[in-house]
């Protein structure tokens, strides 16, 4: 990964974190357990599915390229 790509990822992650922070109830951010639960929930419900969808499309494209479909 290039330094430019790493910088882009960092910038995008910070933007995502800001959005998810604003979407998390304040009372949930008062304890480490609440923060961990919020992060896990956001990853499972918002971030993970979108990454999985992207990655599965990338794999499908590779398979089609190999199979000539």
Q: How far apart are alpha carbons 29 and 41 in whole angstroms?
A: 13
28 and 37 Cβ atoms separated by less than 8 Å: yes
Query: What pTM was estimated for this model as a whole?
Result: 0.68
Query: Residue 63's pLDDT is what?
Result: 73
Angle at 29 between CA 28 and CA 34, to 5 degrees: 55
Condensed to tens digits (0 to 9), the pLDDT of residues 16-63 reads 999 999 999 999 999 999 999 999 999 999 999 888 887 787 777 777
Q: How far apart are alpha carbons 38 and 44 in whole angstroms?
A: 10
């Amino acid at each position: 990964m290039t330094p430019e790509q790493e910088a882009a990822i960092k910038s995008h992650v910070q933007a995502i974190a800001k959005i998810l922070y604003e979407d998390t109830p304040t009372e949930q951010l008062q304890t480490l357990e609440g923060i961990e639960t919020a992060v896990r929930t956001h990853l499972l419900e918002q971030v993970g599915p979108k990454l999985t969808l992207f990655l599965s499309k990338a794999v499908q494209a590779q398979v089609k390229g190999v199979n000539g479909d």
